[in-house]
Amino acid sequence: MVRAETDSDANGKADEWVYYDLENPVKLEKDINGDGKPDTTLIYDIKGVMVRAETDSDANGMIDEWVYYELGKPVRVERDTDGDGTPDTTLTY
């Protein structure tokens, strides 16, 4: 399997896409706001552990939040608050 699509809100349209490499999930894209485009992407390592999440929270087509994970737990969050595509706020855990 290379890709699986899911209609998680039962509206007749796919809103979640999982991509696989050698049967392991490597990326999950999710349309949270219902516009048909992914707004959140989760990236997994070869063992299926999440290493990064990227979100377009204002639906402008640009990622504005990056969350980095180690051992499945968030360790750093970067945010682009001025919309230039570059993080300007960093939170470290």
Q: What is the pLDDT, as a whole number, of residue 23?
A: 85
Among the CATH numbers 3.40.33, 2.60.120, 2.40.128, 2.60.40, which is that of 3-92?
Answer: 2.40.128
Distance CA 92, CA 36 (A): 32
Q: What is the pLDDT, as a whole number, of residue 27?
A: 97
Q: Which residues pair with residue 64 across a beta bridge?
A: none
Element (H, E) at 37: none
Distance CA 41, CA 66 (A): 10
What Cα–Cα distance (Å) separates residue 55 from each residue in 2, 10, 47? Answer: 23, 23, 22
Q: What is the pLDDT, as a whole number, of residue 22?
A: 87
Mean pLDDT by 10 residues, the chain (93 residues): 93 95 93 92 93 94 96 95 94 96
Average pLDDT value over all residues in the chain: 94
Q: What is the pLDDT, as a whole number, of residue 72?
A: 84
